[in-house]
Amino acid sequence: MIDGKKVLFSGMQSTGNLTLGNYLGALKNWVALSDEYECFYSVVDMHSITVRQEPAGLRKRARNLLTLYIAAGLDPDKNCIYYQSHVSGHAELAWILNCFTYTGELNRMTQFKDKAAKHADNINAGLYTYPVLMAADILLYQADVVPVGKDQLQHLEITRDIAQRFNAIYGDVFTIPEPYMGKAGANIRSLQNPEKKMSKSDENANASIYLMDDPDTVIRKFKRAVTDLDASVRYREEQPGIKNLIEIYCACTGKTPAETEKEFDGKGYSEFKLAVGEAVAGVLKPIQDRFYELSKDKAYIDGIIKKNAEKADYYAMKTLRKVQKKVGFPERVR
Ligand code: TRP
What is the domain partition of the chain in residue ranges? 7-186+298-327, 212-292
Ligand 1, pocket-test mutation among 7, 8, 10, most atoms within 8 A of CB: 10
How far, in Å, is the centroid of ligand 1 from the Cα of 134? 6
200 in active site: yes
Judge whether 197 counts as a catalytic residue: yes
Q: How confident is the model at residue 184 (pLDDT cuts 50, 70, 90)?
A: very low
- Could you identify the atom of ligand 1 that is nearest to the CA of residue 155? 1
Q: Which atom of ligand 1 is nearest to the CA of 12?
A: 5
pLDDT at 303 over 90: yes
Query: Which pTM does this prediction carry?
Result: 0.93
Indicate if the pLDDT at residue 25 is higher than 90.
no
Residues with CB under 6 A from ligand 1: 9-13, 44, 47, 134, 137-138, 146, 148, 152
Best CATH choice for the domain 212-292 from the list 3.40.640.10, 3.40.47.10, 2.60.120.1030, 1.10.240.10: 1.10.240.10
How far does residue 45's CA lie from ligand 1's centre (Å)?
10
Same CATH fold assignment for domains 7-186+298-327 and 212-292 = no
Q: What is the mean pLDDT of residues 307-312?
A: 98
> What average pLDDT score do residues 115-141 get?
96
pLDDT of amino acid 187: 82
Judge whether residue 185 has pLDDT over 50.
Answer: no
Sign of CA dihedral 300, 302, 305, 308: negative
**Model pLDDT for residues 188-246, shown as the tens digit of each residue:** 999 999 999 998 888 899 999 999 999 999 999 999 999 888 778 999 998 999 999 99
Query: What does the pLDDT read at residue 136?
Result: 98
Which of 5, 6, 28, 115 is an active site residue?
115
> What is the CATH code for 7-186+298-327?
3.40.50.620
Annotation says 307 is catalytic: no
Query: For 85-103, what is each residue's pLDDT tens digit?
Result: 999 999 999 999 999 999 9
